[in-house]
Each structure stands twice: as structure tokens, then as C-alpha cells.
């Protein structure tokens, strides 16, 4: 292995993404010349990443070792586990193994990126076994907020390494796919060398409530609402969509679906048999208006306050087909993801102002996490009885608490490893040690551009948002060394032009002199004049305002040689 000091009789495990963060889950298990990749997720950007759509891991190490990668195996179909698949496939084409729902979602993504026909896809279930020359992969069923979730066991010559994927122990799931406790216990009895386990809810000393419990709360709310219901949740939360639709159907309400991802979720859910909704239960926007309010439910995306999602547009009054009517009840069946609280509160305020009754938050029991709390994390540790432990899928403090839980469950603290992306853990039958590090930073995706927004572009965006922009327009004849028109100065987000006439006048005179002086240089070019304008105006504006706007000279060159 390049740069890693892993011995021939050791397996290596690492996170390319997903350690010290929520999202970007991409993990590797490597034995000699075989790598099994687990998941390929994205992360949604923090507020300071202006205009970045999402973040993927740096795949450099994987690209350098692409001949060793035998498979990409997928635990489930959430974005933070499959969102990176098309970007990964652009740089390494490896076979993908995934359950029915995750596979349907991956196919949609590959099709959007024009890759569907060039990638080898294999559908698996919790009983599948994949055999390679030195390693094999088996699966076990878990429960989460999406159907078809599995944990993954990689069998290497030195021992079994288990990656749980996202899980909770929901013993009454609405999808009728309970967790396979027997298989987990069997793995534990046969011996697990290292457990890599989901740490999302490590701070919560609870047993996460079952989806069935949420169903009871939702049923109770549906009984009380006399008018139209607008139900907002994640398009990926098929269990919650099923609960909402079953309750609507039971009360004779027709269902109208809004939002592209919600449409896709309904199609996939029905095709795979998770949603049992007859065709005539659906109505479109036109039919909605003619039905009595107590006979309709609108199902939409936007429970996170996303500006372009259906619910935000309804709240802002900019949705083409739907507006809030007095008496509407809007149910937010999700908790705000950290960082989204402000935008969620914004949407709630607007909906209330428009006359809707909004039901949200813990008090109404209309959401439960898809991740296990401390009690379930302890159960997983007890079932698996690992020799070594590596918490994954969580920020540092979550990983740290998870190692403390492992200690309570019989894993000595020095057998637990809190790792960062790119750190490598080498395991033999009896030992575990840190064995080097590879580059595993963040890559930003903006629109369809991958990695072409580095820190420079982000700094420019930060500057624009904080300091504004000043545009200088002038027409110049370099041959005759004359300024034919301008210079004019425009300010956007820097100073209010009407009140800053003097400052801009003085700036204009100054730029006039600067351009004249720059043109007199025998070697003058458009670039040298631009740079002179930027340097001079920057200094002048900073002197006057103590701010650094971005300066953009637009020079129209006439009669150049």
C-alpha cells in the first residue's frame, strides 16, 4: 500500500469521509490487494460555503488504488450514503451492490449524470453473500427511516469487520422489516474483530422511539383536523410517507403530491411494494380546488425550509398552484438538521401569517430519529462483542461518547479508536494500531462543476457578501493614449450610491488620473491598466471607509494596435 505501513498479515480500515462530521459517509476495508468500499455519500454545506451545493470527499487515494477496489457496497439509500455515487463513478468504475430501494435511487442519479449504461449494478438483499479471492461480504438487516437498510460484514483472513450503516432497533417498523437480531448475535458469537458503528445519536441517553409510535401521534392529529392537511417530510423517509398516506386513505382524503423528489419517492415506493396506494387516491392541482378541504392531503418536500422546495414556495405565496387557505393544517414531520433551524422557523412564521395552523417539534410526537440512541448503541456493542471498536458517522464529541459507551459494554478504552478522515487503522488477529494517513479533504460541488471552487472562489464569495463590489467602466484608446468615455463607478453592496456622491466623485477623478498614468507607460497593456486601477482604488476606498470591496474594472479597448 502506498505510503501506508500496513503489513501483509493486516487488514486496514479507514474513512474517506464520515469521520468527525455528519455526512460524506465513505469507508474502506482493505486486505492486501482487495478493497471493499462501503457507501459514497455527500454532505450538505455549512452556512459559510456560499453557493456550494454539496461536499464530497477527495477520492485521490481511491483513484490511486482503483485496481484493488472489488466492490462498492451500499448500506441504504440516503443522500449522505449514496449522493456521491455518480461523482465516484466518474473517476473509478467499480461494481455497485445495493438493496432494491437504494438501487432504484442510484439508477436515477446515474441516469441524470449519463452514466447508467456504463456502470455494473447488482441488486442484493440481507441474505446475499459476495465472494472475492481473499475477502467475502455478508449482510444483515437493520432498521432506519428508509426501507432496505443493511449492515455489512467484511470477512477477511484476519477476522470479521462489521460496519453497521445507520441503524436503530425499531421492533415495530411500519415497513415490516424488523432488525435481524439473530444474525447480529451470530456474527458476535463467531467473533467480530472490529465494529464500525453509527454515532449520530451518541449524545442521547434514550432508546429511539419506534416509527409505529409516530404513526399513533399522526393518526391522532388526522382525527382532529377538520380542514385541509399539508404534510411535509423528507422524500427519503418512505416509512413516514406511508404513515401519512395510510392515514389519509383511511379517512377518505385524496392525496396531491408536490416536489420532484417526493414524486420520485412515491413512484419508487409503489414499484417496490412499500407504498400500497391505489391510482385513484391521487389528484392533481386542478382537481384539488374542486374537492372539499376535509377530503384532501397535500404531501410535499420542504420540511427543512429549503428555499426552492414546494413548502417554502407555498409559504412565500410563490407556488404556481397552491396557496395557504385559512384553516389549513401544516404538519412538519421532521426535525431541523443542524444549520437549518433559522430557515425552518422562517417558513413556519410565514405559514402562520398566511393563516395556517402549524404542527411541529417534539411536543407533538410527530417525528422520531432514524438513528439509535445510547441504549441501542449499547445493544449493538453487546450483540457484536467486538475486540476493537471504531465509532463512525458523527462529529468528534459523538465519536468520543460512543467510545465511552463501548467501554461500559466491555471494550477496553485502549481498544477504541477515534479517527479522522484519511487515518488508517491496521488490524491483525490480536492487535490494532494507527498505520499512517492519506489525503482526504473536502471537494466542493457547485452546479455541475466538481472541485473547481477552491478556497479562492469561496473567499471571493465571502468578500462579495461582506464587503460588496465596485465596478469601474471606461472606454480607452491605448494607441492614442486617450480615455474616450468614463471612468464611471458603480457600487453594489458597498456604499449606497445616492448618499456617497462625493466619495465616488473623488474616486472617479482618482481612477481617471491612474488610467492616464498607466497608459503613458510604453509597455502598457489592458492587464497592466486593470491592475493599476484595482491597486489604486482599493487603497483609496480603504483609506476612506476601512472596507475592502471587490473591484472589477471593465475596460473597453478601442483602436489597440
Q: Which residues, including other chains, have CB under 8 Å from residue 124's CB and lie 6 or more apart?
A: 73, 97, 98, 99, 130, 139, 150
For the chain, the distance separating the N- and C-terminal CA atoms, rounded to the nearest angstrom, is 58
User: How would you class 95 by CB atoms within 10 Å of its CB: exposed for 0-12, middle for 13-18, buried for 19 or more?
Assistant: middle
Question: Does 342 carry a binding-site annotation?
Answer: no
| Residue 12 contacts residue 425 (beta carbons within 8 Å) | yes
Strand arrangement of the beta sheet that strand 11-17 belongs to = 121-123, 96-98, 69-73, 34-38, 26-31, 11-17, 423-427, 432-437
Residue with cell 377538520: 226
Q: Rounded to whole angstroms, how far apart are CA atoms 172 and 301?
A: 26
**Spatial contact of 467 and 547, defined as CB atoms under 8 Å apart:** yes
H helix runs in 1-157, sequence order: 60-64, 79-82, 85-91, 100-112
Annotated ligand binding at 370? The verdict is: yes
Instruction: Determine if residue 368 is labeled as part of a ligand binding site.
Output: yes
Q: 441: buried, middle or exposed (CB in 10 Å: 19+, 13-18, 0-12)?
A: exposed
CA 178, CA 201: separation in Å to the nearest integer?
20
Cα separation, 401 vs 202, whole angstroms: 6
DSSP-assigned beta bridge partners for residue 554:
473
Pick from 381, 465, 358: nearest CA to 188: 381
Going by the DSSP 8-state scheme, the letter that residue 290 receives in this structure is H
- Grid cell in block for residue 141: 438487516
Bridge pairing between strands 136-141 and 150-156: antiparallel
Strand order across the 449-450 sheet: 54-57, 442-446, 449-450
Binding-site positions for substrate: 367-371
Binding-site positions: 367-371
Amino acid at each position: 500500500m502506498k505510503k501506508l505501513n500496513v503489513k501483509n498479515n493486516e487488514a486496514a480500515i479507514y474513512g474517506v469521509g464520515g469521520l468527525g462530521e455528519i455526512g460524506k459517509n465513505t469507508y474502506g476495508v482493505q486486505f492486501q490487494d482487495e478493497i471493499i468500499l462501503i457507501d459514497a455519500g455527500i454532505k450538505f454545506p455549512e452556512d459559510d460555503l456560499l453557493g456550494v451545493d454539496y461536499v464530497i470527499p477527495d477520492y485521490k487515494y481511491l483513484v490511486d488504488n482503483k485496481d484493488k477496489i472489488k466492490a462498492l457496497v451500499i448500506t441504504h439509500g440516503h443522500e449522505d450514503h449514496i449522493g456521491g455515487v455518480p461523482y465516484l463513478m466518474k473517476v473509478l468504475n467499480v461494481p455497485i451492490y445495493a438493496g432494491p430501494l437504494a438501487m432504484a435511487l442510484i439508477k436515477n442519479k446515474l441516469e441524470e449524470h449519463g452514466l447508467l449504461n456504463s456502470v455494473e449494478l447488482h441488486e442484493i438483499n440481507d441474505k446475499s453473500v459476495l465472494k472475492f479471492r481473499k475477502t467475502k461480504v455478508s449482510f444483515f438487516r437493520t432498521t432506519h427511516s428508509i426501507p432496505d437498510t443493511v449492515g455489512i460484514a467484511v470477512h477477511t483472513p484476519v477476522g470479521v469487520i462489521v460496519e453497521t450503516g445507520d441503524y436503530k432497533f425499531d421492533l415495530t417498523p411500519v415497513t415490516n422489516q424488523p432488525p435481524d437480531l439473530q444474525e447480529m448475535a451470530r456474527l458476535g458469537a463467531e467473533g467480530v474483530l472490529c465494529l464500525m458503528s453509527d454515532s449520530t445519536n451518541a449524545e442521547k441517553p434514550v432508546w429511539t422511539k419506534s416509527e409505529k409510535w409516530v404513526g399513533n401521534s399522526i393518526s391522532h392529529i388526522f382525527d382532529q383536523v377538520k380542514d385541509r392537511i399539508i404534510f411535509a417530510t423528507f422524500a427519503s423517509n418512505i416509512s413516514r410517507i406511508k404513515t401519512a398516506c395510510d392515514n389519509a386513505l383511511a379517512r377518505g382524503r385524496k392525496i396531491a403530491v408536490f416536489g420532484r423528489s417526493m414524486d420520485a419517492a412515491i413512484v419508487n415506493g409503489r414499484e417496490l411494494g412499500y407504498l400500497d396506494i391505489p391510482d385513484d387516491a391521487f389528484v392533481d392541482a386542478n382537481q384539488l380546488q374542486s374537492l372539499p378541504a376535509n377530503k384532501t392531503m397535500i404531501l410535499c418536500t420542504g420540511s427543512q425550509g429549503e428555499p426552492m422546495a414546494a413548502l417554502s414556495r407555498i409559504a412565500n405565496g410563490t407556488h404556481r398552484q397552491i396557496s395557504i387557505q385559512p384553516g389549513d393544517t401544516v404538519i412538519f414531520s421532521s426535525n431541523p438538521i443542524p444549520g437549518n433551524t433559522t430557515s425552518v422557523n422562517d417558513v413556519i412564521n410565514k405559514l402562520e401569517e398566511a393563516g395556517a395552523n402549524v404542527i411541529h417539534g417534539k411536543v407533538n410526537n410527530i417525528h422520531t430519529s432514524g438513528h439509535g440512541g445510547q441504549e441501542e448503541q449499547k445493544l449493538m456493542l453487546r450483540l457484536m462483542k467486538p475486540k476493537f471498536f471504531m465509532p463512525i458517522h458523527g462529529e468528534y464529541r459523538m465519536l468520543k461518547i460512543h467510545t465511552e459507551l463501548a467501554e461500559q459494554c466491555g471494550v477496553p478504552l485502549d481498544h477504541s479508536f477515534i479517527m479522522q478522515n484519511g487515518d488508517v487503522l491496521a488490524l491483525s488477529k490480536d492487535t490494532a494500531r494507527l498505520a499512517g494517513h492519506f489525503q482526504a479533504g473536502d471537494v466542493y460541488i457547485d452546479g455541475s462543476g466538481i472541485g473547481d471552487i477552491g478556497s479562492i472562489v469561496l473567499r471571493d464569495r465571502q468578500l462579495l457578501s461582506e464587503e460588496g463590489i465596485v465596478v469601474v467602466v471606461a472606454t480607452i484608446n491605448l494607441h492614442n493614449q486617450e480615455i474616450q468615455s468614463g471612468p464611471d463607478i458603480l457600487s453594489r453592496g458597498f456604499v449606497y450610491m445616492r448618499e456617497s456622491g462625493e466619495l465616488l466623485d473623488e474616486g472617479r477623478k482618482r481612477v481617471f488620473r491612474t488610467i492616464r498614468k498607466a497608459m503613458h507607460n510604453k509597455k502598457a497593456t489592458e492587464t497592466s491598466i486593470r491592475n493599476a486601477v484595482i491597486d489604486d482604488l482599493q487603497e483609496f476606498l480603504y483609506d476612506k471607509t476601512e472596507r475592502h470591496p471587490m473591484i472589477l474594472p471593465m475596460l473597453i479597448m478601442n483602436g489597440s494596435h
